[in-house]
Amino acid sequence: MYGPYPFPSYTAVITEDELEIPLESQALSTFGRNHLAEDWEAERLTAHELSHQWFGNAVTLKRWQDIWSHEGFACYSEWLWAEETGRSTLEDEARRHHAALAESPEDLLVADPGPELMFDDRLYKRGALALHALRRRVGDETFFPLIRSWLAQNLGGSVTTEMFEEHAARESGEDLTDLFAAWLHDEEPRTCPISPPLDSPPIGGRGPCSRAADGPARSALRHQDHEPLGRLGLAQVMIREAHLGHRGARPGAEELEHRLLAGPEARPLLGAAVLTCFGRVRRRGRGPSRGRPPRSPRGPPRARRRGARR
């Protein structure tokens, strides 16, 4: 859906302590021991942090005011994954979160929230709803290739909201000024973008996030055996997939751009991982490390505003 995983490896660190929320950085995410669960909360957070490897790390905001371009995509990825696994439908997720926004203050400008509101939960949900409104406007056959080309053309670079708006208009061939003005540049939330309904299968079937207009690309949030990530349990999958990383040198930018635009099979995502779990390091086939546990290269992640990733 988004194209191949953009880095040579993906590492998941599990702390001995419980954490309010996980935290990602380039090619690495840090989870608390409380996130080792098979419930939806843990599963959606796994999808959220993983999606940041594309939206936030491979392609990064140029200004903090454009934070929605990270968090809106990550939140929308949660909804896509909910539909892919049959836990919910994207329409239901959009409807539910839009209803919650209706009870919230209308003092947030998505495209420029300011330092006090940049990690407000409303920005996450309204950013995701803006993407769904765009998808409604241009259709699946344009929306998903548009997102892949956005990533391909800006791989390793910094972007702004205006750049995304121009890209979407150029790729779709439509004037989208009114759509972005309403969803990103107005403090008042728009009408929920759920009509007409998507051609979605019933719960348990494969949703539109698994379909690409130019080929049978798998969802980017599924691993090689095509089993839902949360169904196996976070720790199980990370240990099991530790050998599935990229081998050899990282492909060049031109090769990655070609792969992204061609919509190829998604590469395994939890590859070449070292799982730090409860003070021990486990590698596939090697068992726990001996001697002193390695020091984390980072201190404990700082908690963001409460509610930022609900």
Tell me what percent of the residues of the chain surpass a pLDDT of 70: 62
- Residue 212: predicted pLDDT: 29
Place 1 in a pLDDT band, splitting at 50, 70 and 90. Answer: confident
Q: Which amino acid is at 82?
A: A
For the chain, what percent of residues have pLDDT higher than 90?
57
Higher pLDDT, 265 or 129: 129
More confident residue, 265 or 167: 167
What is the average per-residue pLDDT within 5-33?
Answer: 96
278 pLDDT more than 80:
no
User: Tokens 């892949």 map to which residue?
Assistant: 148
Q: Any idea which of 46-60, 95-109, 129-143 has the lowest mean pLDDT?
A: 95-109
Sign (positive or negative) of CA dihedral 133, 309, 261, 149: positive
Mean pLDDT across the chain, nearest whole number?
A: 73
Question: Does residue 138 carry a pLDDT above 50?
Answer: yes
What is the average pLDDT across 53-59? 98
Ranking 16-25, 41-50, 185-194, 223-232 by mean pLDDT, the lowest is 223-232
Backbone φ/ψ region at 260: left (φ over 0), alpha (ψ -120 to 50), beta: alpha
SS3 string of 177-203? HHHHHHHHCCCCCCCCCCCCCCCCCCC
Q: Kindly state the average pLDDT of the residues 281-290.
A: 33
Higher pLDDT, 111 or 282: 111
State yes or no: pLDDT of 75 exceeds 50.
Answer: yes
Buried b (16+ CB within 10 A) or exposed e, 236-263: ebbbbbbebbbeeeeeeeeebbebbbeb
Residue 119 pLDDT exceeds 90: yes
Above 90 in pLDDT, residue 28?
yes
pLDDT at 292 exceeding the cut of 60:
no
Contact 75, 119 (CB under 8 A): no
Reported confidence tier of residue 102, pLDDT bands at 50, 70, 90: confident
Q: Stretch 256-268: mean pLDDT, rounded?
A: 37
What is the pTM for the complete model shown? 0.66
pLDDT for residue 195: 52
pLDDT the model gives residue 283: 30
Residue 293's pLDDT is 42
Q: Does the structure show a pLDDT above 80 at 179?
A: yes
State the amino acid at position 89 in one-letter form: T
Least trusted range by pLDDT, from 96-100, 111-115, 141-145, 209-213: 209-213
Mean pLDDT of 197-226: 32
Q: What is the mean pLDDT of residues 59-88?
A: 97
Rg (CA), the chain: 19
Interatomic CA distance for residues 284 and 110, integer angstroms: 43
Structure tokens at 47: 């999808």
Checking if the pLDDT of 163 tops 80, the result is: yes
